Amino acid sequence: MPEIEQTLRRWKESLCESVSLGGHFARNPTAHKWKATYRSLVLRETVFWRTHDLLTQAHLLYEAKHILGSRILIRGAIESVATLIRLNQLTAQVLEGTLNFHYFDDETRRLMLGSRDGSTKHTVRNITTVIGHCDKKYKGLSSVYATLSECAHPNYEGVCFGYSDIDHERHETHFSNKWEAMRADQHESLFKLVFLAFETEYNDVWAVQDENLETWLSENDAMLEATKDEDV
């Protein structure tokens, strides 16, 4: 699939190798004294690295006819992109005046530093809830994610449907790996969905909103300083 391979190659050449807080602070010290802006930038780039890594491995598994493993990795890529989509949604709400910036600051910590095992002091948001928010923009994303989750877990599709057939007349169960026959034809459409969502959020949405957030922070700095210790 040349389009998939070309996109992955292009992404690899575009991966950001480092970001400098000093450079951003020098450009706009008022906006970038707030840590949320730097977290937003770092989260954007780490999501890019992770999404590229997962999709590269997913495509290699597909080419090796390991369809189940490929689908599980695509599911992980959707989760990663959903994190960036949610970040952009929250940023938009700050700019619209419908979300308290200090709450947004806390959410950037959860998105970037959240954990389930207590390895950090921040509790991660439930990814299904995050994807539910993303579905408001990318209709059908929750449905695609739910379908991939069925094969990722030892549910009916992930176990019985994926590896067995029942001969009802003979009362026999026959076993085989059915994933290539069942799901290989969905590979390209799944990749196109992830490519579209990621590039839209990374190139178009985030870049514009980051610039607007800098301006907003500069204009509202006094109010933010006066309210930063209040409960949100």
Quick check: 190 and 77 in contact, CB under 8 A? no
Give the Cα-Cα-Cα angle 187, 156, 63 (nearest 5 degrees): 25
Q: What is the pLDDT of residues 168-193, one digit of tens each?
A: 999 999 999 999 999 999 999 999 99
**In which element (H, E) is residue 141 found?**
helix 141-152
Quick check: 144 and 132 in contact, CB under 8 A? no
Mean pLDDT of the chain: 95
Q: Where are the domains of the chain?
A: 2-227
Q: How would residue 232 be classed by pLDDT, with cut points 50, 70 and 90? A: low
Average pLDDT over residues 86-112: 96
CB count within 10 Å of CB 65 equals 11
